Structure 1
């Protein structure tokens, strides 16, 4: 189960899934090759928001790469509403100081 923050949209999961499967990608490439049924402009806007929230990195020239936080979200280990990691066995939030340092509120 994924723990999406209220700031997230459906396209965010598609972007993260694409970047998890590929080494990197641009909004144009994601739109052309991925399961994304949104405009390139919408994908670009959401990439910027995901980068602001440390789920992907902006490598420059419109190219993005998923971060460890992005992978943790996809795996259901990061709650992006409360910015806490989830204990996989109990599915309860666990405090993690490193999350506070690398993740910002959107």
Structure 2
């Protein structure tokens, strides 16, 4: 189970999954491959937001990679509303990354 924050949209999961599976990705490539059915501009906006929140890292030239936090979110180990780690037993603990809570 993933714990998405109120700030997230449905396409965010698809973007994170794509980049995790492919090691990197760009909005153009995600759109051109047809797996993410949103405009390139919308994908680019969401990539910027995911990078701002710390789930992706922008390498330049429109290329993004997933961060440890992004991978933890995909595994259901990070709540992106409260920015706490979720343990297998359902308990949570703070991640210590206060910049993500804005």
Question: Which band: TM-score by shorter chain?
Answer: over 0.9
Match of 1:72 in 2: 72
Shift of 1:34: 5.3
Number of aligned residue pairs:
102
Match of 1:42 in 2: 42
Structure 2 gap ranges (5+):
none
Structure 1 gap ranges (5+):
none
Q: Which runs of 4+ in 1 moved over 4 A?
A: none
SS at match of 1:104: helix
Match of 2:25 in 1: 25
2:96 paired with 1:105: no
Question: Deviation string for 1:31-77 (max 9, x for gaps)?
Answer: 12252110000000000000000000000011000000000000000
CA distance in 2, matches of 1:24, 1:56: 10
The answer to whether the Cα contact below 8 Å between 1:84 and 1:93 also exists between their aligned partners in 2 is: yes
Superposition RMSD in Å: 1.3
The answer to whether the Cα contact below 8 Å between 1:18 and 1:34 also exists between their aligned partners in 2 is: no
Structure 2 length-normalised TM: 0.93
